[in-house]
Amino acid sequence: MTQPLILQQRQSIELLPASPFRFDATTHKPDHFPAADNEWQPGIRWQTMRWQGTPLGLRIENQGTVDEPRISLAIWSEGPLRQVFLDGLLDEIRYRHGLHLDLSEFNQRFQHDPQLGPLIERWRGMRPCNYNSLYEYLIFAIVLQNTIVRRSVDMMQVLFGRYGTLLSFDGKQLYCFWEPRTMLGTTEEDLRQLKVGYRAKSIRRVLDAFVNKEIDEVDLRSKGTEEQRRALLRLYGIGPASVGYILGDVFHQWDEMNHISPWEQKIYSKLFFDVDPEAAVPVAQLLSLFKERFLGYRMLAVHYVWEDLFWRRTHEHIPWLEKLIRR
């Protein structure tokens, strides 16, 4: 049994997101597979984070309302944290959570849209949210490829167990991601032993790209979408599907809508054309519909439709959807 690293130091900070901000729908995405680096319950999310090499435990807690949002952030660490470290950390957390995102233009533009209007009414203040660094997100993207949800969860768990750090804070035990250099001594063969299959090669080569500084997350943030896309596609094992998610979630490209995978195609066909998911509408037709209706906010608009569906699924049986989700 692995001994967890006990995080003893704790401090609290208040965060003020741009209004409107809907806490639960932002901090929990029911369509994401569960991972050992976080836990959620209504009003609270626990999340581990490695920042500048230091493992941290975070608890973000809702203390406000949609229109007067307030978040209490508690940070656990092994030892005391310096102010410069904290300042950088908070900037990063604000960025990753999209706390600064001003939704007013989006809300105004689509509030009377027959399909989006009611969803904005219901989910006003929701935004995409990503807690992970680009490197970490890439690992998720790789284990997600070409498999069923259960196996993705298992692969992630094995990787955390082998390379991650188990943290204990606030009564929780959660794994913290490793840094790329922690994996440096690992060969493709070592990774294959962990039953990630051919993904071993991708994991190893993405690691090299980070260690060799062929890609730099912070640097990429200030670049345009197409430059970001090219940089991501250069990574071995990362193709258009993964890049689409990354441009939206990691780089906040709210208009990104370039690629639709087969299972998404079926879901969009049902949601936007109300046809049998198996009689899927051609991807080109879906893309042009999104362009017509949502240009400028395609990713964000679809996010509302998508999340609404998966929230519904948490309390309602949706037979056609169940058939499309391979657990």
- Which residues contribute to the site for DNA (CB under 7 A)? 31-33, 141, 144-151, 192, 195-199, 201, 235-243, 261-264, 324-327
- Enter the tokens of residue 290: 């999104």
Please, which residue, 15 or 238, has the CB nearer to DNA? 238
Do 57 and 38 touch, CB atoms closer than 8 A?
A: no
Please, which residue, 64 or 197, has the CB nearer to DNA? 197
Please, which residue, 121 or 214, has the CB nearer to DNA? 214
Strand bridging mode 71-77 / 165-169:
unpaired
Please, which residue, 64 or 239, has the CB nearer to DNA? 239
User: Radius of gyration (Cα) for the chain, nearest Å?
Assistant: 20
How far apart, in whole angstroms, are the C-alpha atoms of residue 49 and residue 2? 19
Please, which residue, 85 or 310, has the CB nearer to DNA? 310
Q: How far is the CB of 148 from DNA (least distance, A)?
A: 5
Q: How far is the CB of 129 from DNA (least distance, A)?
A: 14
Q: How far is the CB of 121 from DNA (least distance, A)?
A: 26
How far apart, in whole angstroms, are the C-alpha atoms of residue 211 and residue 113? 46
Q: How far is the CB of 96 from DNA (least distance, A)?
A: 18
C-alpha distances in angstroms, 116 versus 23, 244, 256? 20, 21, 18
Coil, strand or helix: which one is 271?
helix
Residue 199's nearest CA partner among 163, 151, 268, 247 is 151
Please, which residue, 315 or 327, has the CB nearer to DNA? 327
Q: Give the rounded distance of the alpha carbon of 10 from its chain centre.
A: 26
C-alpha distances in angstroms, 7 versus 2, 48, 197? 15, 11, 34
C-alpha distances in angstroms, 202 versus 67, 131, 316? 43, 22, 37
Q: How far is the CB of 227 from DNA (least distance, A)?
A: 18
Write phi, then psi, for 88 (nearest 5 degrees): -65, -40
How far apart, in whole angstroms, are the C-alpha atoms of residue 207 and residue 160? 15
Q: How far is the CB of 258 from DNA (least distance, A)?
A: 11
Please, which residue, 59 or 266, has the CB nearer to DNA? 266
Q: How far is the CB of 32 from DNA (least distance, A)?
A: 6
